[in-house]
Amino acid sequence: MKTDYQTLRVEMHGAHVLIVTLNRPDVANALNTQMGRDLLDLWTGLIAEPGEVRGVVLTGAGGRVFCAGGDLKERNGMTKAQWEAQHEIFERQYWALLDCPVPVIAAVNGPAYAGGCEMTLACDFAYAVPTARFALTEVTLGIMPGAGGTQLLPRAVGERRAKEIILTGKPFGAEDALRWGIVNRLCPPEALMQDALDTAATIAANAPLSVRQAKKSIHHGLQMDLKNALLFEIEAYNRLIPTKDREEGIRAFNEKRKPAFKGE
């Protein structure tokens, strides 16, 4: 797995948890073209070959900001063609994040605006510090959310709340984000990463193929009517029956010991 990126810090925490840090703290971890390329490469790599990675924690460098959204200084003066070419990279990295088979937890250590808020929404779930702020500010800049915001936000908070957030462009706090279902837990700043890493480690201790199939079933099943979603679920379930991990899980239960899952 590649770990050498210009705009990201990528490091393993233990045997199975990967920490990914958006690493442009001097510009509030704003998303520029290179960060888009780096994230696309990272998520695509985890889709193709997750290897020993069973959980990911995504956070921002500098301790103050998660991600301020797109780098507007880089975008200043872009032609229509340049803007569209850059956004194509952004779109594909967000889609790759959504398709990543490994669970991704956002550890939101500060403001998550525009594309940063969309990145939070694209993760499987999120923990945040109480001082975190969120916003989809695109309509105040003459554009609109274009990296999943108009689709992922209403799935999290409902259509009417999403319209209020997106059409006003107004920021809201972590307490609202928790109450509305955008984040799962508020953590003191000194505990945020440890809480996210503990949850990632708990997930990583489970059967990795089971976790990936369950994630896939939830994600894709929500796009279907209930009957087809139930059929999709059982197809995902049946793929786990012939695995060695299924045999190990049942054997360990009966032998009253912790299972040793290998992803096989």
Catalytic residue numbers, as ranges: 118, 138
Q: What is the CA radius of gyration of the chain?
A: 19
Query: C-alpha angle 120/170/196, rounded to 5°?
Result: 25
Q: Are strands 17-22 and 104-108 parallel, antiparallel or unpaired?
A: unpaired
Determine the residue type at 175.
E
φ/ψ bin of 18: left (φ > 0), alpha (ψ from -120 to 50), beta (otherwise): beta
Token duo for residue 70: 């797109």
- E strand or H helix at 11: strand 8-13
Burial, 254: exposed, middle or buried (Cβ in 10 Å; 0-12, 13-18, 19+)?
A: exposed
Closest CA to 210 of 123, 102, 48: 102
Q: Is the Cβ–Cβ distance between 190 and 47 less than 8 Å?
A: no
* Closest C-alpha to 56, from 91, 108, 106: 106
Convert 203-221 to b/e letters by CB count within 10 Å (16 or more is b): bbebbbbbbbbbbbbeeeb
- Residue 33: both structure tokens together: 């073209």
